Structure 1
Amino acid sequence: MKTLRLLLVTALWITLCTGFYSCSKDLESVPLDYMGGTDTDKEFANYGITDFKDIEMRSCSGIDDNTGDYRWGQANFAGLRKNHLWIASFDRDSKQKLAEWTDTKEFQKTRRIHIGYGEYKDVTISGIALRQIYSKANSFVAFVQLQGSNYGENLYIFKTPTSIKELKGIDYCSIQEWYKESILIGNCCYTLGGDTIAVFKEGFSGGSPLTSKLISYTEDIIAYRANYSDAIYLTKYNYGSGEKEWNTEISELSKEPKDAKITISILDSSTNIWKYKADIVHYDGTKKDYTFSINIETGTIIGEELPISYANLKGTWNMTKCYGWEYNGDGVKEDWTEDVKGEYIFFESTHGNGGYFDGDDTSYFASSLQGNKLILENSNWLIGKSITITKLTATELHITATEASSVENYEMKKR
């Protein structure tokens, strides 16, 4: 029994950003009749393909970490069934079939190709391999490679329930899921039917991405660490123009040591104000986190939330609003709210000493912090109440003071 083999592709793709890959034209260096030690008959049967003996030029790839393009977790099979191109793909772990298809038209093993300057040559296809398949919504896009002596051709097949389209002349590129059931091949965004949505000018460069999320076919919100300074930025990048629409430094993260490990996640993207969380680990094992929000239309930071510490509380905070509820003399719960002018609190140092000015007199206090709890000592202000810091940014401080019979909320702006 003849054993076919397939060499692992040496032209690996280089990640430029969140999805762009460079493409290789080196087709002739990948002999399709080399299967990396895999017995194709055995593997066909292992995936339930029992009628394989009538398949010519049969090949399989991705069946383990040493053969083919294994990185997608697919076991891919290809060949000619009664002189018609046949492909099948399976999930490598579950062996669930992802797609199977036989072309309706006959396969031309010998064909004449243009080699430039008006000259042609005859080539004979001797090898076929399915490199990758992307399947969704009863459709698939398959990347098939054909090869003969001193000849190679990449073929991308777009199959929907109502149409079949083939694209040729594209360099060796992966198929990547993109925005709203579109795919990316090289620098082109396609529908699942093979229609071009957008052609991208260039991928994002200049930094190491920490997180990203597409908001359109051409626009991406990317958090990244700059190559030239190690500063942390958020940018709205347009692949169509190859330009940053805005680029905002996250100053609190840029202050972290260069060797700090920073991971960023999106907490909320339901409106144009996105909320992020950064988890930070220092070399000595110290862990901290930082949350912030940004307007993705303008790139404006909305109230960067700071770690609760006296270093960040130090200064004077003008009260602007107070609201809450309390029980009246009849025992009925009443809500109230009022604008505040002329009152403020201040923290003189990083040790918790400060005071409250009510418009006429100042009440001094000492304090301590327990997480987000502010514990006042020797104070006539908010005496007997449990005080929680609910928001702390470079410009805003919100606290809530509670007791059994009332709740008071204070909103303050830094002077």
Structure 2
Amino acid sequence: MMIPIRKEQRQENMHLKKTPMTKDMKKGMIEDMKKLKRYSTVIKSYSYMKAFRLLATSLLVALSMGFTSCGEDELDRMPSTSLDEGTLFDKTDKLFSEYIKDYSNIKCRYGLQGESSVLLSGLKDNHLWFSEYDAVSKQLKSEWIDIEKTDTIQQLYKGYGEYETLYVKYVAPLYYKEISTGNIVTFNIGGRFQTIFTSNHKAKRTQLQYDNSKNGIAHNWYKESVFIADCCYSHEGDTIYIAKSRPSFDENGNLAGVTLVSYEEGIELSGRYINRRSFKEGKSVWSTYIAPPFDVPSDAKRNYTLLGNTTNIWEYKCEVTFYDGTKRDFTFKINIDNGKIVTDEIKVTGISINENTVNLKQGETFQLTATVQPDNATNNKVIWSSSNETVASISQEGLVTANSAGETNITVTTEDGNFSTTAIVTVTSNEDEDKATLARLEGTWDMLKCYGWEYNDQNIKENWEENVVGEYIFFEDEDGNGGYNDGYKTYYFASSVEGNKLILRNSEWLDGKTSIIITKLTETELHLKAIDSVSEENYEMKRR
């Protein structure tokens, strides 16, 4: 029996070659449907544009009611022998026709009907697409469409530079997550998984793999990131790291037995132990035995409940169920930074800082250090803040960075007790410093000594000293206008200062020197060093 084609399609597809479906073809299609059933349970109810709901879990588990069709693509449509309850394509087309008047532009269709919602998906104008309809009113509730096109013929990477061709029969969404800049979607594309990251109207996607274990379904991870196979991805689709040990997820797609504290690490309860586990490094950061305050036999069952984790001191309740059905419980606290069980919490009584006033130039940094009292306080975490980050910013490690001229208060506050202390940071700009240097240069400076070195014709370095009695330089104003007098003639110049460098313009004096450095400047003394690649000149002067 051939696959029935709708009347409106039949005229468009007269050219299709009708060959019977082989046993292998039928077996492959059934296996693909089993895969859909196996992984569909990860689809949950998510919010999409603050109103989106996919389908309830109970709806999606009933995948046996889902049907697929590749539509009108000659490479994808295959005639079939009769299946138990009609062809899959027939049932999909029937479901589509109830909700979409004209779906001729949708290929590789997949449909799933529940009590209150209907999920439809496919390649819409060659774009991955899915939508949700109200089962009663048949009104569209939400939909998603990929911003890039997907072909019905895909190349699966098998490793070692080898590929295998995949002819896509159906596409179905398995995971959806809304993020601050877009969304993340995992699709089953003909039995292979691909995750699409859409952020700020740009898309990235994982490579289709022959081996699904190398490119699985996305799972919620720390903040907006997701975990796929052995890789942690940012919400924009960038690789954060490849894990040396893969996390485990339950049948609902949730991380099993671990509470994440960062992209790389989580707190894991396992039997009688609590561990801080690094997925990136594939090892435990620390492991602590949980000693109950009463005897617990080895055959007793333990169930842990997290009571509080707002600080680095986490509190748990452990309920112990004995073989005879009786129960007892106890609570414990643990410092997740070092894995130490907290018995009697030692409260913070105060805080001090290594400097209360700090003066910096623009671009400089300074390390502030806070000390929490007492030294053995249970929670010694602190929070750094700046009253004006435009002037100076502060890292949570206490490193101050001077950004622009001005004054700001750097405050450090204890997490326990909210004790605080403040350092006043004053930042001066480089421009202010340079203007001050020019102002100090104003006046006349008589030369006392001139000496240096240069390479001769034989490329030998020779030292020299010159008589400069009667020579002088002068700066007429704070703008750097001045000149040099060799005892006979004055050569005028314009100048400016950048840090400890004197920059001369339109000057015959020291012409060609690549750098003129102010090595000393006091109220009465000025020393200059002028250098290039083959010579050096030093001038010592006093104020007239």
**Bucket of the pairwise TM-score, normalised by the shorter protein:** 0.5 to 0.7
Stretch moving more, 73-82 or 244-253: 73-82
Q: Which residue of 2 aligns with 1:59?
A: 110
Per-residue CA distance 1:272-324 (angstroms, 9 max, x = gap): 1111111122222212110011111111111189xxxxxxxxxxxxxxxxxxx
Q: Which residue of 2 aligns with 1:272?
A: 312
Asked if 1:191 corresponds to 2:234, the answer is yes
Distance in structure 1 (CA, Å) of the matches to 2:320 and 2:161: 61
Contact 1:175 1:184 in 2 (8 A): yes
Identity across aligned pairs (percent)? 30
Asked if 1:179 corresponds to 2:222, the answer is yes
Aligned residues: 266
Asked if 1:237 corresponds to 2:277, the answer is yes
Q: Which residue of 2 aligns with 1:8?
A: 34
Distance in structure 2 (CA, Å) of the matches to 1:98 and 1:216: 35
Distance in structure 2 (CA, Å) of the matches to 1:234 and 1:283: 23
Task: Give the drift of 1:10.
Answer: 8.0
Whose helix fraction is larger, Structure 1's or Structure 2's?
Answer: 2
Q: Normalising by the residue count of structure 2, what TM-score does the alignment of the two structures yield?
A: 0.41
Contact 1:76 1:132 in 2 (8 A): no
Distance in structure 1 (CA, Å) of the matches to 2:303 and 2:201: 43
Q: 1:141 aligns with which of 171, 181, 184?
A: 184
Letter in structure 2 aligned against 1:217: Y
Whose strand fraction is larger, Structure 1's or Structure 2's?
Answer: 1
Task: Give the drift of 1:269.
Answer: 0.9
Per-residue CA distance 1:165-193 (angstroms, 9 max, x = gap): 12214535121111111111111111222
Q: 2:287 aligns with which of 232, 244, 247?
A: 247
Q: 1:214 aligns with which of 260, 273, 277?
A: 260
Task: Give the drift of 1:246.
Answer: 0.7
Distance in structure 1 (CA, Å) of the matches to 2:235 and 2:266: 21
Task: Give the drift of 1:156.
Answer: 1.6
Distance in structure 2 (CA, Å) of the matches to 1:240 and 1:109: 36
Asked if 1:281 corresponds to 2:321, the answer is yes
Q: Which residue of 2 aligns with 1:167?
A: 206
Contact 1:223 1:234 in 2 (8 A): yes
Q: Which runs of 5+ in 2 are unaligned?
A: 7-28, 40-66, 71-82, 249-254, 346-544
Task: Give the drift of 1:194.
Answer: 0.7
Contact 2:111 2:118 in 1 (8 A): yes
Contact 1:89 1:98 in 2 (8 A): yes
Q: How does 1:93-104 map to 2 (within 5 A)?
A: 100-104=143-147
Contact 1:7 1:36 in 2 (8 A): no
Secondary structure of the 2:224 match is coil
After superposition, the Cα gap between the structure-2 partners of 1:117 and 1:235, relative to the gap in structure 1 and judged at 3 Å, is closer
Distance in structure 2 (CA, Å) of the matches to 1:2 and 1:265: 56
Task: Give the drift of 1:115.
Answer: 7.0
Letter in structure 2 aligned against 1:56: K
Per-residue CA distance 1:330-365 (angstroms, 9 max, x = gap): xxxxxxxxxxxxxxxxxxxxxxxxxxxxxxxxxxxx
Q: Which residue of 1 aligns with 2:129?
A: 86
Letter in structure 1 aligned against 2:245: E
Letter in structure 2 aligned against 1:300: K
Distance in structure 1 (CA, Å) of the matches to 2:160 and 2:311: 55
Ranked by relative contact order (alpha carbons within 8 Å, sequence separation 6 or more), the top structure is 1
Secondary structure of the 2:292 match is helix
Distance in structure 1 (CA, Å) of the matches to 2:226 and 2:340: 31
Contact 1:211 1:265 in 2 (8 A): no
Q: How does 1:111-126 map to 2 (within 5 A)?
A: 124-126=167-169
Q: How does 1:10-409 map to 2 (within 5 A)?
A: 39-41=91-93, 43-44=95-96, 51-60=102-111, 63=113, 76-88=119-131, 100-110=143-153, 124-137=167-180, 139-147=182-190, 153-170=192-209, 171=212, 172-203=215-246, 211-225=257-271, 232-252=272-292, 255-303=295-343
Contact 2:155 2:208 in 1 (8 A): no
Task: Give the drift of 1:101.
Answer: 2.8
Per-residue CA distance 1:89-146 (angstroms, 9 max, x = gap): 6899xx9989633345544334677777877776643333333323344632222233
Letter in structure 2 aligned against 1:287: K
Secondary structure of the 1:197 match is strand
Distance in structure 1 (CA, Å) of the matches to 2:287 and 2:309: 18
Distance in structure 1 (CA, Å) of the matches to 2:315 and 2:166: 57
Secondary structure of the 2:318 match is strand
Secondary structure of the 1:8 match is helix
Distance in structure 1 (CA, Å) of the matches to 2:328 and 2:166: 62
Per-residue CA distance 1:224-263 (angstroms, 9 max, x = gap): 11xxxxxx00100100111111111112189422332321
Secondary structure of the 1:284 match is coil
Q: Which runs of 5+ in 1 are unaligned?
A: 14-30, 66-72, 226-231, 306-415
